[in-house]
Chains A and B, each alone.
Chain A
Amino acid sequence: MSVTTERAERRTVTLNMGPQHPSTHGVLRVVLDLEGETVADAQPVVGYLHRGTEKLAESKAYQQVIPLIDRLDYLACPAYNFAYCLAVEKLLGIEVPPRAQYIRVIMAELARIASHLIWLGSHAMDIGAVTVFLYTFREREITYELLEMAAGVRMHQSYFVVGGVRWDLPEGFIPKLKAFLDILPGKIEEYENLLTKNKIWKLRTVDVGVLSKEDAIAYGATGPMLRGSGLKWDIRKVYPYSGYEQFDFEIPTGEHGDSYDRYLVRMEEMRQSRRIILQALEELPEGPIQALEGKLFFPNPELVRGDEKDMAALIHQFKLVCEGFHAPVGEVYQSIEAPKGELGFYVVGDGGPKPFRLRIRLPSLMNLQTLPVLSRGHKVADMAAIIGTLDIVLGDVDK
């Protein structure tokens, strides 16, 4: 072996990928160390979309924080509102009426389906199967129409409020949702026909981006990342919230912890979400949609502006407009199973109307931390497949 070839073989090239790169779906930068075509190391550099949500939240009243939370994972806003509202409600020590709980579950599961559809479409497109993207966006459009019907907004719904939901489900929502759930299994089958046994898809995903169960736990990876590695762990089952213990559903798991297993897990999760929504619709209780205790909502307008004014109601209205409701002194941590993994809110209250500290435990950030483990030893071309399988949203990485 001549000296020059020896040197050429050992040389490591550092390649900068992003922050503007089509396969990262956002502003993610990855510094790759390459030995030829092989990835020796991949270090993500984050923060290009940092908006200081935690700092901003400290200067806003509890209800005003909700639109900020929407902008974390902008593909599954209801799930994020859900976790925040549950955390503040835990701090306040209030219960949400059953109807609101059910509506929240329906919305959060709809968000899971929407999020997984986008993931599937974009992940397949990264690998080269562009058709799937067109298929999934067709169904994703229906989920957005449904969310828009309920909230009035397509993207950042802010449909959940502390103490319940903003307003009741509109007329025509439930039939449209049922019609969507009727066609969904057939559509999922369509995607599976395109991918599950597709030779190219399997070549690009089987044994690519392997994460062992031990590493998944050590790195704090959650959601389909953890379940794909074989651990049956789902916050909805382990620490049930908002009435999830009443629903009958399965937790799919993988065996090998590779991209293909995570794909199978997410496909099955869409079917399970459909099951949950069907059960919730079946048993949807009647009744109020906002908690009456805690003075979280405006009093009856009749008592404020009508003929028979009530002083207490006036004061209540005035206090809410000027400061917002007060939360007690204390600290709580509440987590939910968001589409991308465990989403947790650690709220510290100081007795005032604003959170003293709001800490957000983001699933995408923690899952992205496993990128070096997933990509070592793979080819550069696999990076797009590996970033795709993480299912990250940069708003959810950078907060």
Chain B
Amino acid sequence: MPTVLIVDDEISILEVLEDVLLDAGFVVVTAMNGREGLERLNETMPDLVLLDLMMPVMDGPGMLRGMATNPAYRDIPVVMMSSLPRESVAAASDGFAAFLRKPFRIEVLVQTIRRVLDGTG
């Protein structure tokens, strides 16, 4: 089963997304900010990262930059999620494989993750 690392500072969102992805058959790891996310990467080497934009301690773009400095993480696709439109997110960060604008539907989330993992995203 593919492993998905979810990084989001809103506990309610983190918990719901975890349940949804577990139901969809994924293995799920969670972190509440970019720094924690980098630590989880090291521990679990997930197949995909579902990453929020704005977080305390280290935000989404900060984590993306951290991933880019380590060759071991370069091939892990990132799905960025934010309440902001895609243009705003692109201006703050690049290097993500797909974008989800919050709030989104469960089926859209699962389809997007599967598409990215299949390499068709």
Partners in one complex: no
> Which residue numbers of A lie inside 8 Å of B, CB to CB?
none
